[in-house]
Amino acid sequence: IAKEVAKLLEMKAQLGTDEGKHKFVLKTPKGTRDFGPKEMAIRERAFKAIISCFKRHGAEVIDTPVFELKETLTGKYGEDSKLIYDLKDQGGELLSLRYDLTVPFARYLAMNKITNIKRYHIAKVYRRDNPAMTRGRYREFYQCDFDIAGQFDPMIPDAECLKIVHEILSDLQLGDFVIKVNDRRILDGMFAVCGVPDSKFRTICSSVDKLDKVPWEEVRSEMVGEKGLSPEAADRIGEYVQLHGGLDLIEQLLQDPKLSQNKVAKEGLGDMKLLFEYLTLFGITGKISFDLSLARGLDYYTGVIFEAVLLQQENEHVEEPLSVGSVAGGGRYDGLVGMFDAKGRKVPCVGVSIGIERIFSILEQRLEASEEKVRTTETQVLVASAQKKLLEERLKLISELWDAGIKAEMLYKKNPKLLNQLQYCEETGIPLVAIVGEQELKDGVVKLRIVATREEVSVRRESLVEEIRIRTSQC
């Protein structure tokens, strides 16, 4: 229904533009949105948690341009390439907006011949997706990526990526979650032993990828009907993809008469076992599920893949159930950097991308449900006056406060009413008011009012900065 309504609204909007000849449509482009001060305050909370975590793990930060040469993005995204935004050919290079941060990262490594880096990158990416289809999906959205590039001993960086996802989701208190883990090599081996022809690996993989949204029966009929897989092969796949568990399942599959004979599957399972050992040392296996149905669409993954999913909360206090879905994902891509190197020199990489938009929606919904009032500024004090003709005195005082590093505001009126000034503090959450009056000026003091308690104290002008600092030190 939401989809239909969106369609109708769009048709209506288009009709609207045709009606009046020069009627200007005041809107942001389809699939994008502005963030107002309140939304930004929430967004910055989430960013802060994520950046703290990335820094805690010793990551450096980089930034790349919002667009890349079109050819840089070509051949990296499989079927999704049709969603790339191209820039108009205005003479010069052909450019496209970045689709993710991973391909620009690989281009950056190859271009600068960097073989070893741990970096994060938080920036907007662009996809010409149909944004009405899913809640919390936009055409412009932030990704928060953390990646480790370099030739290292197996599964140590991979385990750290999962630890990071665990830390961030725990820190943000988004509710219960599970991190599904699989390996492209296990998937490929599984397809091979089930009798999928090599040429069908990718397309069957993308069918498997749908298992988190549609039931097996549908996926099976797509495999057999649309993609021409034999029913026997599909049924064999069906048995595997229902499996999920922990170390026990890995051990079981290492004994599996068919899988254990397949070289890549065996490699993948061996590494998966090592990964689980490291995750046990990190104490996070409780939230990790080795899940044979996890496929992930992007072409460039070569080893471990993972995806964090929020679990539905049984929470009667929220009218609308929280949207549930993937909030982080990633994996190993050992071949991508080599695609940019003239000599094909590889730089093994593993990384994670935090899907911040869904996290925002959840934090927003939760905040709306709560009674918490979000402050959108950090102002410590309002410089106010009790009488008329004190604009100059207010300007002098606020200038002193700014120069001392105090966050201060005043109303931009010559003669504001005291009541209006106090009201402004109530509305915006400013905790203190520094009131100048004629008597105070004579006495060399400022009246400091604590908004919450309505208490007023007389403070000597030379002690005002210190007094404000002490009274707002918890802010």
Other CB atoms within a 10 A radius of the CB of residue 188 amount to 20
Q: Which helix (H) or strand (E) covers residue 436, if one does? A: strand 432-436
From the centroid of its chain, how far is CA 268? 28
From residue 324, give the alpha-carbon distance in Å to each of 49, 129, 175, 313: 21, 19, 11, 9
- Tell me the chain's radius of gyration from C-alpha atoms: 28
Beta carbon nearer to a second copy, 57 or 346: 57
List, in order, residues 6 or more apart from 188 with CB less than 8 Å away: 201, 264, 265
Instruction: Report in angstroms how near the CB of residue 361 gets to a second copy at its nearest.
Output: 16
SS3 306: strand
Distance of closest approach, residue 311 Cβ to a second copy, in angstroms: 22
Where are the extended beta strands (E) located within 173-315? 177-183, 244-245, 288-291, 304-310
Q: Contact, 304 vs 350, CB < 8 A?
A: yes
Min dist CB 433 to a second copy, Å, is 13
Measure the CA–CA gap between 365 and 348, rounded to whole angstroms.
Answer: 39
333, 299 contact by CB (below 8 A) = no
Q: Nearer to a second copy by C-beta: 110 or 253?
A: 110
> Nearer to a second copy by C-beta: 51 or 324?
51
Closest approach of a second copy to the CB of residue 439, in Å: 21
Q: Which residues contact 348 (CB under 8 A, 6 or more apart)?
A: 149, 150, 151, 152, 332, 334
CB nearer a second copy, residue 231 or residue 402? 402
- In the complex, what is the shortest distance from the CB of residue 95 to a second copy, in angstroms, rounded to a whole number? 5
According to the annotation, is 300 in a ligand binding site? yes
Could you tell me the smallest distance in angstroms from the CB atom of residue 110 to a second copy? 6
The label of the residue with tokens 């699989």 reads 182
Q: Which residues pair with 450 in a beta bridge?
A: 432
Please check if 33 is assigned to a binding site. no
Contacts of 62 (CB under 8 A, 6+ apart): 105, 108, 119, 121
Residue type, 417: K
Pick 60 or 232: Cβ nearer a second copy: 60
Smallest separation, CB 298 to a second copy (Å): 20
Cβ proximity of 369 and 321 under 8 Å: no
Q: Are 139 and 131 in contact (CB under 8 A)?
A: yes
Residues 6+ apart with CB under 8 A from 366: none
Quote the CA–CA distance of 187 and 74 in Å, as a whole number.
25
Contact predicate 181/289, CB 8 Å = yes
Between 207 and 302, whose beta carbon lies closer to a second copy?
A: 302
Is residue 376 part of an annotated ligand binding site? no
> What's the rounded Cα separation, in Å, for the pair 101 and 142?
10
The CB-of-21 to a second copy minimum distance in angstroms stands at 13
| Closer residue to a second copy, CB minimum distance, 142 or 240 | 142
Kindly tell me which of 109 and 234 has the beta carbon lying closer to a second copy: 109
Q: Where are the alpha helices (DSSP H) in 292-417?
A: 356-369, 391-403
120/306 with CB nearer a second copy: 120
At closest approach, how far in Å is the CB of 64 from a second copy? 5
The answer to whether 120 is a known ligand-binding residue is no
Q: Is 101 annotated as a binding residue?
A: yes
Known binding-site residue numbers? 100-102, 127, 143, 147, 296, 300-301
Known binding-site residue numbers for L-histidine? 100-102, 127, 143, 147, 296, 300-301
